[in-house]
Homo-oligomer: A and B are copies of this chain.
Amino acid sequence: MPELYDVAAIGNAIVDVISPSTDAFLSDEGLTKGSMVLIDDAQAEALYGRMAAGIEASGGSAANTVAGVASLGGRSAYLGKVANDQLGEVFTHDINAIGVTFDVAPLIGGPATARCLINVTPDGQRTMSTYLGASIHLNPDDVDAKTIESAKIIYLEGYLFDPSEARRAFAKAAGIARASERLIALTLSDSFVVHRHREALLGFIDSEVDILLANEAELTALFETTSFDTAVRSLRGRAKLAAITRGEKGSTVIAGDNIQDIAAAPVQKVVDTTGAGDQYAAGFLFGLAKGRPLDVCGRLGSLAAAEVISHYGPRPQVSLQDLAAKGGL
């Protein structure tokens, strides 16, 4: 197949509801700052009722990443499931508008489009409570083999390891990618996901994953250590390539014995860290797909992450291609 796409991603198609919050509110709601928990319809309604007024924006981790790839001037496709409701229309509009190919048929007569209720504390940290709704009804028939076969990199969310019908779709996508010798990239998504599915994730990394994306907390959770250096050593021999984000400390790119630290890009004020890891992944994978050196891939990741944390909302508000050009990348 010709390589139509730089990155094709599969993930939970989610609309974010983003509200300012306080540490006391998180505590009252029993939420752990910086984490993601799954909630059901009734819990979502109750929590939403207590949250402050906010804004809505298309989200979903892997969807944010392919939106970032498009903003960088790359070609990308997305596989995920929304319902035929207003939030589903919003999600579909936004991902198409940025130039991502997305044509999975919406779910009819089932649960509503997935929502992620995001409480943003004054330090810019986001705490997420996700109602998966229609997103878990992505099924293997929704995974178009041609899309997978024509992408340089297939990008998968660790979130998909949570129990859901979508995991079969995930397995099909991974199988087709392997069969057609495409690169498989995986994000660990969340340290609680890692705790829940540690063995399955390690097995999948060993057998299928070419490129691992994670943050420091997720990587240390994967190897059950508190030491970043120990976790990095544990990674050797497992993933050919890994990029680990470390917040304001930047990121570390690991390719066998070649370990490079990449600085974070400067940010005037951190408003909302939602989507930081997703945009780092966008920059890193875009760079890889374009054959750029690893340090440039990391710097593209830093640049994309810095843009998204400077405002509310999980996707770039300005052209990352322009930003990269201005930054000499």
> What is the interface of chain A, defined by CB distance below 8 A to chain B?
17, 19-20, 48-49, 51-58, 67, 85-87, 90, 93-95, 97-98, 112-113, 311-313, 315, 317-318
Residue of B nearest to A97 (CB): B53
Q: A87-B86, A112-B86, A311-B312 are in contact. Are A98 and B52 (CB under 8 A)?
A: yes
A53 near B312: Cβ-Cβ < 8 Å: no
Given contact pairs A20-B318, A53-B95, enumerate 16 new A-B contacts (beta carbons under 8 Å).
A20-B317, A51-B93, A52-B97, A53-B93, A53-B97, A54-B94, A55-B56, A55-B57, A55-B312, A56-B56, A85-B86, A86-B87, A86-B112, A86-B113, A311-B311, A312-B312
Sample (23) of A-B pairs whose CB atoms are under 8 Å apart: A48-B93, A49-B93, A51-B93, A51-B97, A52-B97, A53-B58, A53-B67, A53-B93, A53-B94, A53-B95, A53-B98, A53-B315, A54-B94, A55-B55, A55-B56, A55-B312, A55-B313, A56-B56, A86-B87, A86-B113, A311-B312, A312-B312, A312-B317
Does the CB pair B57–A56 fall under 8 Å?
yes
Contacts of A93 in B (CB 8 A): 48-49, 51, 53
Q: Report B-chain residues with C-beta under 8 Å of the C-beta of A112.
A: 86
Q: How many copies, total? A: 2
Kindly list chain B residues whose C-beta atoms are within 8 Å of the C-beta of A90.
Answer: 17, 56
Nearest residue (CB) in B for A313 is B55
Contacts of A318 in B (CB 8 A): 20
Listed from nearest, the 7 A-B pairs whose CB atoms lie closest are: A53-B94, A56-B56, A86-B86, A53-B97, A55-B57, A53-B98, A55-B55
- Give, as a whole number of angstroms, the nearest-CB distance from A46 to chain B: 12
Contacts of A86 in B (CB 8 A): 85-87, 112-113
CA distance A315 to B112 in the complex (A): 27
- Chain B residues with CB under 8 Å of A56's CB are 55-57, 90
Main secondary structure of the interface of A (DSSP, over half): mixed
A93: min CB distance to chain B, Å: 6
Task: Give the nearest-CB partner of A58 in chain B.
Answer: B53
Contacts of A98 in B (CB 8 A): 52-53
Bound together, the chains give a CA A52 to CA B96 distance in angstroms of 9
Residues of B with C-beta under 8 A to A313: 55, 312
Whole-angstrom CA separation of A51 from B95 in the bound complex: 12
Report Cα–Cα, A53/B112, bound state, in Å. 21
Listed residue (A19, A56, A58, A318) with the most chain B CB atoms within 10 angstroms of its CB: A56
- Which residue, A58, A95, A112, has most C-beta atoms of chain B within 10 A? A58
